[in-house]
Amino acid sequence: MPQDDRRARPISAILTELAARSDAGREVRLGSVAARIGSRGHGMAILILALPETIPAPVPGLSGILGVPLLLISLHLAAFGEGSHLPRRAARLRVPPRLLAVAARYGAPVLRRAERVTAPRLAPLVRRERMVGAVGAVWSLVLWLPIPFLNVPPATLLILLAWGLIQRDGLFILLALIGSVLLTGAIILAGGAVVEALSMWL
């Protein structure tokens, strides 16, 4: 694994630095964020965009705003893999200061703990970048849809996928795949229950 790809700077430190940069009034764009970790730019971009949806102080309406770039980045990853640059539209996206501040405050401590247990493993899963992108596209779409109370589970799965790519840790990707199966089953069961309840009411 190249040294500059993930071991040069911890992701938690980069996130904190970006928040400080934004607080100082300096513009932060998604392309420059992704460039900081080398070839795993898609994973970093997905992490930055999905992280605020899993924390206790979400920004109102954020999922609707960030759902499109999340979907775009995931589809680009599915089509071209991590060796390609971010799509131009996503790279030019200005990261809102509020998003970075919330992500750094609540997300960085969690990421620091995750960094202690992360190691390169399950390499065959890590190399399935296009599969990861396809799964990420599904949950990006779900996150973008205006479905009440359904932000945290898909955002969490997106973060697990992104973290596995960034850290080259297939265990996190495996957890995301298992979680995807479980969440899909839960959504199908919940949808069936709603349809049955509506049919009885009507």
pLDDT-based confidence at 56, cuts 50/70/90?
low
User: Does residue 8 or residue 116 have the better pLDDT?
Assistant: 116
User: What residues does each domain of the chain span?
Assistant: 3-201
Q: What is the pLDDT of residue 2?
A: 40
pLDDT-based confidence at 183, cuts 50/70/90?
very high
What amino acid is encoded at 168 in this protein? R
Q: What is the pLDDT of residue 36?
A: 74
User: Does residue 157 or residue 10 have the better pLDDT?
Assistant: 157
pLDDT-based confidence at 182, cuts 50/70/90?
very high
Q: What is the pLDDT of residue 60?
A: 58
> Is there a contact between 32 and 95 (Cβ–Cβ < 8 Å)?
no
User: Does residue 2 or residue 8 have the better pLDDT?
Assistant: 8
pLDDT-based confidence at 63, cuts 50/70/90?
low
pLDDT at 192 over 60: yes
Q: What is the pLDDT of residue 6?
A: 43
